[in-house]
Amino acid sequence: MNLRFGRIAFACALVLLSATAFADEGMWMPQQIPELASRLSAMGFQGDPQAFADLTGQPMGAIVSLGGCSASFVSPDGLIVTNNHCVQGALQYNSKPEHNLMVDGYLAKTRADELWAGPGSRVFVTVSVKDVTEDIAGKIDPKTTDRKRFDVVDQRVKAKTAECEKGGLRCTVSAFFEGLKWFEIAQLEIQDVRLVYAPAAGIGNFGGETDNWQWPRHTGDWSFYRAYVSKDGKPVPFAKENVPYNPKHWLKISAAGASPGDLVFVAGYPGRTYRLNAFDEVKETVDWNLPRSIQRATDRIAILEKLGKDDKETALHVAQAIRGLNNGLTKNKGVLQGMVKGGLLSDKERMEKDFVKWIDADAVRRARYADVIPAIDAIVAERAKTRERDALLTEMPGVMSSSLGSAQTLYRFSVEKAKKDADRDPAFQERNWSRIREAQERAQRTLDPKADRALMRYALVDVARLPQGQRIDVLDKEIGLKPGMADADAGHAIDAWLDKLFAGTKLYAKDFRMSLLDKSTAEIVATKDSMVALAAALYPIQEASREKGKERSGALYRLGPRYAEALLAKNGGLVSPDANSTLRVTYGKVLGVPARDGLLYAPQTTLAGVVEKATGQGEFNAPKAELDAIKALRAGKATPYLDPKLNDVPVNFLSTVDTTGGNSGSATLNARGELCGLLFDGTFDTVASDYLFDAVRTRSIHVDSRYMLWTMSEVDGATNLLKEIGEVPSLDVKIAR
Amino acid sequence: MNLRFGRIAFACALVLLSATAFADEGMWMPQQIPELASRLSAMGFQGDPQAFADLTGQPMGAIVSLGGCSASFVSPDGLIVTNNHCVQGALQYNSKPEHNLMVDGYLAKTRADELWAGPGSRVFVTVSVKDVTEDIAGKIDPKTTDRKRFDVVDQRVKAKTAECEKGGLRCTVSAFFEGLKWFEIAQLEIQDVRLVYAPAAGIGNFGGETDNWQWPRHTGDWSFYRAYVSKDGKPVPFAKENVPYNPKHWLKISAAGASPGDLVFVAGYPGRTYRLNAFDEVKETVDWNLPRSIQRATDRIAILEKLGKDDKETALHVAQAIRGLNNGLTKNKGVLQGMVKGGLLSDKERMEKDFVKWIDADAVRRARYADVIPAIDAIVAERAKTRERDALLTEMPGVMSSSLGSAQTLYRFSVEKAKKDADRDPAFQERNWSRIREAQERAQRTLDPKADRALMRYALVDVARLPQGQRIDVLDKEIGLKPGMADADAGHAIDAWLDKLFAGTKLYAKDFRMSLLDKSTAEIVATKDSMVALAAALYPIQEASREKGKERSGALYRLGPRYAEALLAKNGGLVSPDANSTLRVTYGKVLGVPARDGLLYAPQTTLAGVVEKATGQGEFNAPKAELDAIKALRAGKATPYLDPKLNDVPVNFLSTVDTTGGNSGSATLNARGELCGLLFDGTFDTVASDYLFDAVRTRSIHVDSRYMLWTMSEVDGATNLLKEIGEVPSLDVKIAR
C-alpha cells in the first residue's frame, strides 16, 4: 500500500482529499446505522441516524429495489427514479426496428402514455428485516453430514419464507457474514411497472462503453418508472385499469445537488461483494475466473456485434446482452488490474497470513478456528478439479437468454412441479411460478436463433477441448466428439449437429414455449423438440453437479460462520457484511481523488465537459436540443440549477461511498435526506474493492440532481414530471420531441 | 474564453495554479530579457536578467542548436545534453538490423567508443546577434515591384551573410516581426558530433506515440552528444583524430531538479510560430492545410507501417519518418482541436476585427495601415487558387528523403552551380555545398525504393485528380493522365509508369548519387537516369511556382512590417517576435493545470507512474534494469535524487514556459542558471498556442534532471559521464549493459 499512500502526499491531492482523506468501508445494514452515530457526527451529520433504521419511515420507506437495480419513490403518485441503464429492458421491450427507444428515449406526456415495462418488471419495497439466525442455523447436530446440513438449512429457509409470505408480502431469508447471521426480509412486490421517461441515449448513455467505469464522466444516467396497483391498492399484475401506487414516503429531489465536501448517503441494493472470502477463493478468482471471463466476454461481444451488423432485428435482440457483457468485461479488467497490478491480492494474502497467525497465537482460538481455512481451501481445490466442465455446463444456456436456457428451465420446471412444494428447488417453488412464466414471456424480446447458435457453437468448441475426466459424455455421444480431437474436426461435427438441433426446435415461437409450462415431463418429452431433448439429456449431469454444489454449500454452512466469527473477533468493532442484494446504506463525502501518477480527478463535472466530448455521433452524440440549451445558458438564460461556484450546471460527481453492482439507480441522499443525485457507477481504478476495500482510491460516480432537473426543464420539456416532483419548470422550454 | 476561465474557479485548480495563474506569452530574444526585469522580479527572480543578454557568458554561452533541436554543453569537455528524440538520426545511422540502437540505446564506456552521429550532424553555438534592419529593409524605393523587392532583399541578405562569414562563423540573416526587424546571427558551427549515451527506447521513448503530447508523462527523453574539433580547436569535419571541444561555458546539471512553483527558464531554438499571421492565413491553415495534412500523414503512416511489417530493412529506413509523421499528425490534430473546438480561431477573428476597428478609428493609422490586411488577404486568396497543385509539387519528393528529392536537388544544384555565387538561390550557395553533399550521404540511411514508390504512387493518384487549371501537364503527358479520369484507370497508368521509373534509376546507389554532385546539367541529363529525367521534366513548373512565391514574398516584405508595426502599436509594451529557429529564452513556473472538465494535471510525475504504465512490451516496455532499480529504491536503497515531498524520484514536470517544436532538448534552467530539466514536449490541449497563445492552459513538458541522474546512476551505470558532470555515482551500481 506504500505506493498508494505515497501518492497522496502531494499538496493539491491533500486539498482534494480534505481532512477525511479515507473512504469509510461499509455497505451497512440499515439497522447498523444508529451504531455509526459517532462516526457520522464526526463527519458533520446533524440528523438522527435512527431514521435509517426505520424502513417504513422517511427516507428509507422511499427506497426500492427493481431486482438487480436500486431506485426510489420521488412523488406521492408512485413516480420512481432510477438509472437509465436500469430501464434498458423496458426500452427494448417497447422498441421496434423503426422506432428504437433505446436510442431516442421516451417521454410520456400523460399517464395514459406510460408504457408497461414488460413481463417480469418489479418494484420491491422492503418493509421489515428480522434476525432469524437461530431459526435457520441453530441446533444442528455437529455430526450432520454436509449434504444433510444443506437440506436442513434449505428446509428451514423454505419454511421460514412460507410462513413470512402468509401476510401477502414477498420474503427472502438471506445469509450474512458467511452464514454467521441470517435475516428474513419482507418486501412489498409491485408487479405493474411502467416507463415514464428516459432521456435519449445521447444523454442517458453519453460516453457509452468508452466512458463506462471512467472519470471524468458526463452521463445523464436517470430514468423514471411509475408503480401501479389495483384500484383497491393491491400489487397485481399489469392491467390497464390499474392506478398509480401511493407510497407513504417519497424523496424530495434536491434542486441544490451535491458539492465537494458534502456528506452523502446512498441507500440501495448492492449485489455481491467478496471481502470476507478466504484468500484461496480470491486467488482462484484472479488466476482463473477473471481471465477466463474476460476472454469469453471479449469473444462473445465480437460474435454478437458481428451478427448485429448483418441483421437489424438480431441487433435489437442482443443490444442489452452486449451492453451487459461490455459492462462486466470492463469491470472484470479493472478488478484484475486492481488485484494484480494494484497489489490487492498480495494485501489479501498478507492479511490472511496475519489472520492465521492470530488464530494460532491463542489455544482457545486455535481449537475453535484452526481447521476452518484449510477446510475452505480444500473445498476450493476440490471444486477446481471440474471447474472447466462446470463452467461450460452453466454457460451453455447462453448469456442473457437462449432457447437452451428456456428448454432447461421448462424441463426442470416439469420435474420439480411433480414434487411437493416444500421439496422443490427454491427457484421452482410455487411462489416463483409467475416469475418463471414472465421470464419465458420476456425472453421473446431477446431470444435470437442466430445469436444462440453462434454462442452455443463457441461453447461447444470448448466442450470438445475438455480434458479427460471432465468430459460431458452425453454431448460427446450426441455430437460425436472425442478427447484430443482436432478443432477443425470438432467444428465440423458441431456444425452438423447444430444444423439438426436448430432445425428441430420450435422454442423460438412464444406460444409453443409458453405451452410447455403447463405440461408434465412426459408430455414435454413427447413434443420431441430437439432443444428440449438436449435439455433432458443434459439433466442428469447437471443434477449431479448441483448435488456436488449442495454438499459444498453444506460444508460452507459449517465453516463460514466460524470463519466470519474469527475475522470479526480479530478486527473488532463494527463491520458491515458482504453485499448480498439486500438493502444497505453507505455514507461518504463528495471528493476528488488522485487517479494516476500525475493525474487528479476533480470531484465534479459540468456541462462544459459535455460540449468538450460531444462529437455529434456514436457514443458522444449529445442531442442537438441539449447543445442548444447549453448555448442558451452560455448566452445568459437563467436556471435555478446553476452552481454559482462552477458557474455551470454540474453533471456528475465523485464520492467516497462504498457501492457495487446492484446499487445502480440508488438514491444519493444529502444530510437532509433529499435526493441530491443518483449513484450509477464506480471508477475503474477501484472496482477491485469488491474483493478488498481500497480506502484511499475508492470512488463512486453519481449524476447530480441538478443535471437531471436542468435537462428535464431545458432539454426534454418534461414539464408534467417537474410539476409532479414539485419543481417549477422553465417558462420557455422548447418541447424537444 | 469564458469557458476556459470558468473552469479554473474550482478550488483545487486555484491551488494548482497558485497566485500566478497565467502563463506569460513570449519566446523572447535574449537581448529582450533585461527589459523583463520587473516581471521576473515579481516572479521571485533574484539573479541578473542582463546575464541572458550576454550570449558569450553564463549561462547563454552553453546553449547550442543541433539544427532542428536545442541542446546545451554540460561539461568542459564538450559534452552536450539534448533529447533522446533529437538523436534518433544518429542512432539510426549507427544501427544495423541485428543491433538496433534505436531500441537498445547506447552507452560509450570510453571516449573511443563515442560514435560519429553521421553526415550533417552539427552543433551551432550562437555568438552574436546584430540588428541589421536598416541594411536589409532600409531605403527601398516604394515604387519597386514586389518581384524586384524580393531580389533587393535577397541580394542584401546574401551580401550581409557573406560579409559576416568572412570571420569563419556561420551566419544567418533572419526576419523578425514579419520583417519589421532583421537580425544577423553569427554561430560557431561544430561539424564533428558524436553519440555518447542514449537510454533504451523503453526509457527514452517510454510511452511512444500513445503518450506523445500527453500528460501524465514518464519519458526519459535525454541523450548525450559530444562536440569534437581539430587538435588546434577548429570546427572541422569528422576525423578520428579530432579532440573534444572545450566550451567556455557549460551548465551544471542540478541534482535538485525542479519543484512546483519554481521559476524556470528555457533557452533554446523554437522553430516556427504564427501568432502574428493575419486571420485569413490562419483560417486557411485551419480550413485546408491542417485537415489535409492530417489525412495525408495518416495515410502515409499506414503505407510505411505496412511496408515495414513485411521488410525489416525498410522498417529501419522508415522508422524515423514514421516517428516524425506521427509526431506532426498528433500535433496537427491538437492544433485543429484547439483552433476549432477550443475556440482560438474565433478568438483570432475577433482580435483581427478589433485590430481593423482600431486602425479605422484614427486617420493617421488609417492612411498608414488600412490597405495592409486586405492586401494580405488577397495574397492568401490568390495563392489558394493553385494550392492543391503546389502542395503536390512540394510533397512529391517525399517526406523525409526520396530518390526524387535527391534527383531534384542534384539537378537543381547543377543548374545553380553554373551561376555566380551571389546569384544563386541561397540554399545552393557555396557556403551550403558541404551540407548538400552530406545530405546526399545521409540519405543512404533512409532512402528506400519500396517506401518511395508507395508514397509517390499515393501522391500521383492525387495528381491525377487535380482539377482543370491546376494540372501538371508534364506528368499528364508522361504518365498518360487526363482530368476526370477514373481512379482505377489512373492507377493502372501510374503503376505502369512507376515500373519504368523505378527500373530506370540508379539513385539508390550511393556512389552513383554522389557522383552527380560534380556533374554539369548536361552531364547529369546524359546519364539518362529516369529519376533525374523526371526531375528535369518537373523543373520548369517548379521554377515557375518558385517565381510566384518570390513575388508573394516581395509583397509580404512590403506589407508585413507595417502589419507588425500596427499590431505592436495597438498592443503596446513589450512583445516577443514569432519563433523563427533563432535563440530564444522563455520563463515560467512549474505548475499543474486543469486539463479537461473534471480532470486536473498534477505538476509532476514519479517513478510510481513508470511502474503503473509498464507493460513489458511495446511502447511501455520499461527495461527490467529500471524496474529492478525501482524495486531496490522501494526496498530502501538511498539516492540523492529522491524528492522528499513526493517520497519518490520525479520523472517529468509541467511548466508554463512558452515553447514549440525546435525547443526540443532545450535546457530548463532554475533561477541559479543550473540545468534542472530538459524541455521535450507540450501538452496536446495547447499546441494551438503556435497560432494564438492560450495563457490559461499552455503547458510545456520537461524531464526532471533527477530522473536523468538517477537513471544514469542506478539503471544505465553511466559512471564515466556522472563523474564528468561532477556527480558522485552510486557505489553499487549494476552495469546494466
When pLDDT is cut at 50, 70 and 90, the band that residue A1 belongs to is: very low
Of A531, A554, A567, A584, nearest to A700 by C-alpha is A584
> Which residues neighbour B613 within 8 Å (Cβ) at sequence distance 6 or greater?
B206, B207, B218, B620, B622
Q: What residues of chain A have any CB closer than 8 angstroms to a CB in chain B? A: 2-3, 6-7, 9-13, 15-16, 215-218, 260, 341, 592, 594, 596-602, 604-606, 608-609, 611-612, 634, 645-648, 652
The single-letter DSSP state of residue B417 is H
C-alpha cell at B133: 534592419
- What pLDDT score was predicted for residue B732? 44
Of B649, B664, B669, nearest to B715 by C-alpha is B649
The answer to whether the CB atoms of A602 and B600 lie below 8 A apart is yes
The catalytic residue positions of B are: 85, 221, 664
Give the chain B residue whose CA is nearest to the CA of A685.
Answer: B612
Please report residues of B whose CB lies closer than 8 A to that of A218: 597-598
Asked if B392 and B459 count as a contact pair (C-beta separation under 8 A), the reply is yes
Written as one letter, the residue type at B128 is S
Distance from CA of B280 to the nearest CA of A (A): 26
Measured in degrees and rounded to the nearest 5, phi and psi for residue A704 equal -75, 135
Q: How does DSSP assign B567-590, residue by residue?
A: HHHHH-S--PPPPBSS-EEEEEEB
Question: Average pLDDT in the A260-287 region?
Answer: 96
Residues A553-597: pLDDT tens digits?
999 999 999 999 999 999 876 889 999 999 999 999 999 999 999
Give the chain B residue whose CA is nearest to the CA of A603.
Answer: B598
- What pLDDT score was predicted for residue B400? 56
What is the value of ipTM here, to two decimals? 0.83
- What pLDDT score was predicted for residue A736? 40
Three-point CA angle A590, B16, A1, nearest 5° = 60
The answer to whether the CB atoms of A645 and B605 lie below 8 A apart is no
- What pLDDT score was predicted for residue B2? 29
C-alpha distance across the termini of chain A, in Å:
52
B77 exposure class (CB count in 10 Å sphere: 0-12, 13-18, 19+): middle
The answer to whether the CB atoms of A12 and B16 lie below 8 A apart is yes
**Rounded to whole angstroms, how far apart are CA atoms A89 and A68?**
12
Please report residues of A whose CB lies closer than 8 A to that of B260: 11
Asked if A250 and A123 count as a contact pair (C-beta separation under 8 A), the reply is no
Q: How does DSSP assign B490-521, residue by residue?
A: HHHHHHHHHHHHHHT--TTSHHHHHHGGGS-H
- What pLDDT score was predicted for residue A25? 87
Asked if B474 and B541 count as a contact pair (C-beta separation under 8 A), the reply is yes
Q: What residues of chain B have any CB closer than 8 angstroms to a CB in chain A? A: 2-3, 6-7, 9-13, 15-16, 215-218, 260, 341, 592, 594, 596-602, 604-606, 608-609, 611-612, 634, 645-648, 652
- What pLDDT score was predicted for residue B323? 87
The answer to whether the CB atoms of A12 and B12 lie below 8 A apart is yes
- What pLDDT score was predicted for residue A730? 62
Asked if A172 and A161 count as a contact pair (C-beta separation under 8 A), the reply is yes
The catalytic residue positions of A are: 85, 221, 664
Cis amide bond preceding B244, omega within 30: no
C-alpha cell at B107: 552507452
Average per-residue pLDDT for chain A? 92
When pLDDT is cut at 50, 70 and 90, the band that residue A10 belongs to is: very low
- What pLDDT score was predicted for residue A320? 85
The single-letter DSSP state of residue B473 is H
- What pLDDT score was predicted for residue A329? 94
C-alpha cell at B543: 521554377
Helix (H, G, I), strand (E, B) or coil at A244: strand
Residue with cell 461483494: A273
Distance from CA of B190 to the nearest CA of A (A): 39
Three-point CA angle B528, B545, B339, nearest 5° = 125
The answer to whether the CB atoms of A647 and B6 lie below 8 A apart is yes
Question: Average pLDDT in the A406-428 region?
Answer: 96
Helix (H, G, I), strand (E, B) or coil at B704: strand
**Rounded to whole angstroms, how far apart are CA atoms B352 and A256?**
42
Distance from CA of A300 to the nearest CA of B (A): 26
Asked if A384 and A376 count as a contact pair (C-beta separation under 8 A), the reply is no
Measured in degrees and rounded to the nearest 5, phi and psi for residue B96 equal -130, 160
Best probe of the B interface among A591, A597, A703, by most B CBs < 10 A, is A597
- What pLDDT score was predicted for residue B316? 87
Ranges of residues in chain B with a pLDDT under 50 are 1-21, 731-737
The answer to whether the CB atoms of B600 and A599 lie below 8 A apart is yes
Asked if A257 and A248 count as a contact pair (C-beta separation under 8 A), the reply is no
- What pLDDT score was predicted for residue A6? 28
Return the sign of the alpha-carbon dihedral for residues A152, A153, A156, A159. negative
Q: Flag whether pLDDT at A523 surpasses 50.
A: yes
Residues A178-228: pLDDT tens digits?
999 999 999 999 999 999 999 999 999 999 999 999 999 999 999 999 999
The answer to whether the CB atoms of B594 and A602 lie below 8 A apart is yes
**Rounded to whole angstroms, how far apart are CA atoms B634 and B648?**
9
Please report residues of B whose CB lies closer than 8 A to that of A591: none
When pLDDT is cut at 50, 70 and 90, the band that residue A400 belongs to is: low
Residue with cell 421452482: A428
> Which residues neighbour B533 within 8 Å (Cβ) at sequence distance 6 or greater?
B504, B525
Of B597, B600, B612, the CB nearest to A600: B600
The answer to whether the CB atoms of A600 and B604 lie below 8 A apart is no
- What pLDDT score was predicted for residue B531? 96
Cis amide bond preceding A540, omega within 30: no
Give the chain A residue whose CA is nearest to the CA of B647.
Answer: A6
Question: Average pLDDT in the A102-126 region?
Answer: 95
Q: Flag whether pLDDT at A122 surpasses 60.
A: yes
The answer to whether the CB atoms of B12 and A602 lie below 8 A apart is yes
Of B9, B612, B647, the CB nearest to A647: B9
The answer to whether the CB atoms of B11 and A260 lie below 8 A apart is yes
**Rounded to whole angstroms, how far apart are CA atoms B555 and B148?**
10
What is the Cα B664 distance to its own chain's centre? 7
**Rounded to whole angstroms, how far apart are CA atoms B126 and B60?**
9
Of A707, A577, A696, A680, nearest to A268 by C-alpha is A680
Measured in degrees and rounded to the nearest 5, phi and psi for residue A563 equal -55, -50
Q: How does DSSP assign A388-402, residue by residue?
A: HHHHHHHHTT-SS--
**Rounded to whole angstroms, how far apart are CA atoms A548 and A393?**
14
